[in-house]
Structure 1
Amino acid sequence: MVSQPIFHQALLPFLFCITTLSLVVADPTDGFTRLPSPSSNFQIQKHYDLPQNKCYTFSNGVYRFWVYTNDTSSTGTRARCELRIGNYYTSGVLQFEGYFYIPNGTTGTTIHQVVSSGVSAAAATATTSQSTVYHGSLTHFLSPTLETNIYDKWYRFSLIHDVGANNVKIFINGVQKFNGNGQVAGSHYMKIGVYAHEGASHYVESRWRNIKLFTR
């Protein structure tokens, strides 16, 4: 057997240390404090006058939202069934974390939003962030693409909103996929579910579990 050169043997512990360190990736929640369960402030928002159980269920820890996009609207919004999470916030850094699942065939629907009330009458309402499903990909608004081939799998979704810096970061399975400006100042809140857009499939659905909020 040929022994390794002494130089290589001396480097082995050092190389092992470098390789190990390179595998350590910061978690999005590092440095954050978890807030109490937001469930006490949950509110279902929907576009039509049907019983809640016709577009939303909660069973075995899973929140399920669905709509048929040709349903008539009584509120002037597009077809939607969404869960508003928590109260308005106007400052600080808030992080949402949850796991989402999109059944095959759903397209043209927003599944997570940071909704804002603007500071002027000209911008009375706006959306700071939208995460939307298009043809099997998750996008931030229309672009950029956050993740492809998302159907029929659970994904960890983390969004950090720094109000003072007007910054939004989005992570999928702990990996940062977006870092950019928000859209508007003012008061904000988050919600999940389905909100159909033009060109949406006839039926849209999203599922969520393990919903948490953090602050820093």
Structure 2
Amino acid sequence: MKELSGGGGGGGGCKERPYDIPLEQRYSYENGTRRLWVYADDKPHDPNSHTQPRTEIRIKGLDYSSGVWQFEGYGFVPNGTSGATIVQIHGASHSATTIMLRIIKGNMNYYCGPARGILATQMYDKWFKVNLIHDVDQGKVTVYIDGMLKVEAKDRGPGDLYFKCGVYAASTNISYYMESRWRDIKIYKK
């Protein structure tokens, strides 16, 4: 695979955040680490949106609709964050997203939890490597956590697709404060 973006620098992507709060009150970049946080009572990213609060990074200029693409990054979630999507592939023909990985009570979940699958446990307060591989032409998504295969699943159809990471509150069972940190973000294309 060919690396397309190293996610370097502090400004490497579009950052969604509560619309009424300055970026620096929900995002920081220091010593190669991006820190993103949100509160359960924050506003959505747009005054016309009815979605939950979020602070997320979307790498600009790397949208895709075919081929094989991979997100790679090291994530960290502090103890107490729950009900937060920390990485996703946005877009699909049959859904708003192709995949979401959520932290719920310290476990990494494929979407909302046990029905879809707990991928890893005891994820708080440690760095972990995430690889999301999307083969659009084959309709397949593969997830590795710390180099171990965790799930291969059918995607939700093609669309205007892109990777996002950060924190995006789920609709239920969320903690009041949610945070994730990311470093060494890379996007690859085959």
TM-score surpassing 0.5?
A: yes
2:18 aligns with: 47
Task: Give CA-to-partner distance per residue, 1:128-174, whole Å, 9 cap, x none.
Answer: 01000011100111221111000000001111000001100000111
1:146 aligns with: 119
SS at match of 2:74: strand
- Selected match of 1:67 from 19, 38, 50: 38
Residue 117 of structure 1 deviates from its aligned partner by 5.2
Which aligned pairs between 1:126-137 and structure 2 lie closer than 5 A? 126-137=96-107
8 Å Cα contact 1:47/1:77 also seen in 2: no
Task: Give CA-to-partner distance per residue, 1:25-65, whole Å, 9 cap, x none.
Answer: xxxxxxx2222435576100123321001111111000101
2:4 aligns with: 35
Letter in 1 for 2:2: T
- In the superposition, the TM-score normalised over structure 2's length comes to 0.89
SS at match of 1:71: coil
SS at match of 1:53: helix
8 Å Cα contact 2:66/2:158 also seen in 1: no
Bigger Rg over Cα: 1
Identity of aligned residues (%): 38
What value does the CA root-mean-square deviation take over the aligned residues? 1.6
Q: Number of aligned pairs?
A: 180
Runs of 4+ in 1 over 6 A off after TM superposition: none
Task: Give CA-to-partner distance per residue, 1:158-202, whole Å, 9 cap, x none.
Answer: 110000011000001111001011123211001000000122000
1:115 aligns with: 90
Q: Residue 206 in 1 paired to residue 180 in 2?
A: yes
Higher helix share: 1
Q: Which of the pair has the greater relative contact order for Cα pairs under 8 Å at 6+ separation?
A: 2
